[in-house]
Amino acid sequence: FSAVEVIRAKRDGARLTDEQIDWVVGAYTRGVVAEEQMSALAMAIYLNGMAAAETARWTAAMVASGETLSLRVGRPTVDKHSTGGVGDKITLPLAPLVAACGAGVPQLSGRGLGHTGGTLDKLESIPGWRARLTADEIQAQLVDVGAVICAATDGLAPADRKLYALRDVTGTVESIPLIAASIMSKKIAEGADALVLDVKCGSGAFMKTPEDARALAAALVDIGVSRGVRVSALITDMSVPLGRAVGNAVEVAEAVEVLRGGGPGDVVELTLALAREMLDLAGLSDVDPGEVLRSGAAYDVWAAMIRAQGGDPDAPLSQPGHVHTVVAASDGVLSTLDAYAVGVAAWRLGAGRARKEDSVQAAAGVVCHVKPGESVRAGDPLLELRTDTPEAVPAALAALDGAYAIAEAAVGRESLVLEVVR
């Protein structure tokens, strides 16, 4: 094979053969296909797409580029993956809840880039907590505690790690087949029996429209089916931040409220909807996650999970050096609060990073005191901007310009779960 031949084929709209795909993904991982060649191929795929069978083969080739975990847990394993949003701390209460219901939850997670937060960044605001575990530690913790949230081990899908970094700098991230193959290669390599996808849709998500979200959900489910993994997808609204907290430590605090039986209604609703779907796929549909949450058993798994990774679940979380409060200009009902704008504001305040090497501030973020549908009086606090770098406040305020509105009358709210794709 030659890389130029494969690039020309995709450039001219042909379907790549299984052999071409296996060769090009393997050769790229070994450094035989050059970065500039893979970037040309990624752009050709971005422009001309891939058929379902091509995407499935591409995924399989990325899985084969590295090791796969073979988990022996003694109970069904099921994982959740979100395509990324604003205030999306759902993994934090969900993984211990589903473990408390009887499944094993190996949740290999990522860091945030841009305006979307990362689960590992949030958990690292807990003093002592460690994201990096070996495959043996993951296995042992799954048996002892039932849930693990940690970084992917270096050997999992190395082709994806290389290709994702390349796509990030070549304008080829937003390709449905490449996103689907990227997500599923890591999840298949992780070796869970079943997977529930939370495909986010709206301003704060990668997929801005229901059509795109539906196409991504279908591509993800198709890959799962072709690889023998039980998969389903919920398409959920990401036009408004989830919960009231957006950032790192503030999101951990909100997740703990949910685990203790409180917390915002939308976070509880989505946690339970995803838990039911995961339990269904794991063959545990007779367990009621709402009851388990109320019993406190999910909180106990959370505390054990944090301790097992060196963290202190009772330690105070860091507080910001500076707080700037945005107040309501008039009486009324909040009619909109744009997820993307709040995500960018939190990022500017230091909760996210601009480059992979950057560090994040544990205490930075935005607290939304009022959510759409709730009443306010003039002068009431609307948004609390938290940061250790007060010079970042003007940029955060600029991001929030036009992001919320106060109406005179109440407005209806769309449901959070828009569609289920199985």
**Torsion sign over Cα 56, 61, 62, 67:** positive
Amino acid at 143: V
Residue among 178 and 351 whose Cβ is closer to ligand URA: 178
Choosing from 10, 122, 161, 186, the catalytic residue is 186
Distance CA 26, CA 64 (A): 8
What minimum distance in Å lies between the beta carbon of 166 and ligand URA?
Answer: 11
Between the alpha carbon of residue 261 and those of residues 77, 175, 393, the distances in Å are 25, 39, 33
Distance CA 140, CA 131 (A): 15
Distance CA 192, CA 240 (A): 31
What minimum distance in Å lies between the beta carbon of 329 and ligand URA?
Answer: 37
What minimum distance in Å lies between the beta carbon of 343 and ligand URA?
Answer: 15
Which range binds ligand URA by CB under 6 A, 89-97, 177-185, 241-249, 285-293? Answer: 177-185
What are 194's strand-pairing partners?
Answer: 78, 230
Choosing from 182, 185, 203, 239, the catalytic residue is 182
Between the alpha carbon of residue 159 and those of residues 193, 279, 417, the distances in Å are 22, 31, 33
10 is catalytic: no
Residue among 24 and 207 whose Cβ is closer to ligand URA: 207
Choosing from 79, 88, 160, 193, the catalytic residue is 160
Smallest CA-to-CA distance from 395 within 116, 121, 115, 118 is with 115
Residue from 37, 172, 182, 203 touching ligand URA (CB under 6 A): that is 182
**Which two three-digit tokens encode residue 167?**
């796509």
Smallest CA-to-CA distance from 193 within 104, 90, 298, 289 is with 104
Choosing from 10, 57, 80, 81, the catalytic residue is 81
What minimum distance in Å lies between the beta carbon of 353 and ligand URA?
Answer: 16
Is 152 a residue that touches ligand URA (CB under 6 A)?
no
CB 308, CB 141: distance < 8 Å: yes
Distance CA 381, CA 344 (A): 20
What minimum distance in Å lies between the beta carbon of 110 and ligand URA?
Answer: 7
160 is catalytic: yes
Is 77 a residue that touches ligand URA (CB under 6 A)?
no
Residue from 179, 219, 351, 385 touching ligand URA (CB under 6 A): that is 179
Which range binds ligand URA by CB under 6 A, 43-51, 131-139, 172-180, 329-337? Answer: 172-180
122 is catalytic: no
Residue number, nearest CB to ligand URA: 182
**Which two three-digit tokens encode residue 367?**
């607290």
What minimum distance in Å lies between the beta carbon of 305 and ligand URA?
Answer: 23
How many residues sit in the footprint of ligand URA (CB under 6 A)? 6
Is 183 a residue that touches ligand URA (CB under 6 A)?
yes
| E-only strand ranges, 51-193 | 78-82, 105-109, 147-151
- Catalytic machinery residues: 81, 160, 167, 182, 186
Give me the residues that bind ligand URA (CB under 6 A), please.
164, 173, 178-179, 182-183
